[in-house]
Amino acid sequence: MEVTSKYRRYKKGDLSPTNTTVHVCNACRNICSSHHQSGETKAPCRGCCCFLCNICNSALEHGKSRENCLVGSVKKIGSKLFKLDNSNKNGNFLGWSSSPSPSIAFPSSFPRRYNKRAVLCGVSYSTRKFRLKGTINDTNNMRELLIKNFKFPNQCIRVLTEQEQNVDLIPTKHNILESLRWLVKDCEAGDSLVFYFSGHGLQQPDFKEDEIDGFDETLCPVDFIKEGMISDNEINSTIVWPLKKGVTLHAIVDACHSGTILDLLHVYNYQSGIWEDNKPPSRDPIRKHTSGGLAICLSACEDNQMAADSAVFGGKGMNGVLTYLFTKTIREYPRGITYRGLLAKMHEEIKKINRNRSFSYRILHRKIIAQDPLLSSSERFDVSTTIFTL
């Protein structure tokens, strides 16, 4: 049995912190990271000529100034960062080009209109040291649940994994964002939309002052080292803003630091049983609401926690803890379960797993599941009486 943090590479043995440090370019204020021994690193940034910003989150938005660009050292993000390697110096992954492809080869409309649509992303990072082994199982599990339990048409589910033959369905940053635009395009009242992600998640400093804890949450596409991460602000503007009245979006995110990954205004405190405000502290108005629709997010853990892949559940291979417990609970309650009941079952299962492990095993291996599934929403609702449905 092994539990592997999605914030660490999958390999039994060395799980010590890396020497990867996050930096801010003084000229354009964008974020990048690099390996270094000590002290500050100086380099020009990408719009200012810097190789470091190849892994910056907003490389395409860099300033044009090429003068006086220094990259100053900033505090390390979270408790650990990925070990990066140079095994693919041209920035490609498994032979795919990281440059934007033409429009994705997937129907934007159908002979008849369906009111259910889903995007499922499972990122394994298979050529990297921080690869994950449970994400394909997670994605297959979610797809089966949507079809069998929630009657999603197969042709209305777009799956992005590294196993796809169509290069437009590889989970690159470009392809994921294109798929998210497809998900909400021309949405109408009565539509049920689902975004699912299994992979790595990170945090980065928030310079827009729209985060209570001072950090933006991010998702890592397969090419994030070259093209950058997908921030919670990007996700919010892409799939939350367009939601019209009568449209419901559910996001299920099995990644580290994913608590407020959709930047929704209300976070449910499971312990106290109340909704808490997640309003940005910035004085300038920052849009975080829908256009009348409802957005709900179920995250693997809180913003300051790390999610896990685990083999503790038995069966074949690894599974994300959130995905496994979520799908298991839904199948056990075919007549429906409330949002509160769903959270309660997942919390109980995690405590049960940790209790059943011997004290000596926990001391020697330090492999307990330390994550609290979190619910957030664009609107408050009664979680004790509202039945979970997609």
Active site residue ranges = 200, 256
Strands of the sheet containing 319-320, edge to edge, are 3-5, 308-310, 319-320
Say which residues have a Cβ less than 8 Å from residue 271's Cβ, sequence separation at least 6: none
Q: Which of 160, 157, 219, 238 is nearest to 192 (CA)?
A: 157
Determine the Cα–Cα distance for residues 9 and 303; give it in Å rounded to an integer.
19
CB 248 within 8 A of CB 300: no
Strands 3-5 and 308-310: antiparallel
Could you give the C-alpha distances from 230 to 160, 218, 223, 247, 341, in angstroms and in order? 15, 5, 11, 24, 31
Neighbour-count burial of 178, counting CB atoms closer than 10 A to its CB (0-12 exposed, 13-18 middle, 19+ buried): buried
Assign 3-state DSSP to the chain and report helix, strand, coil percentages, each to 5.
25, 20, 55
Token pair 């949450």: residue: 217
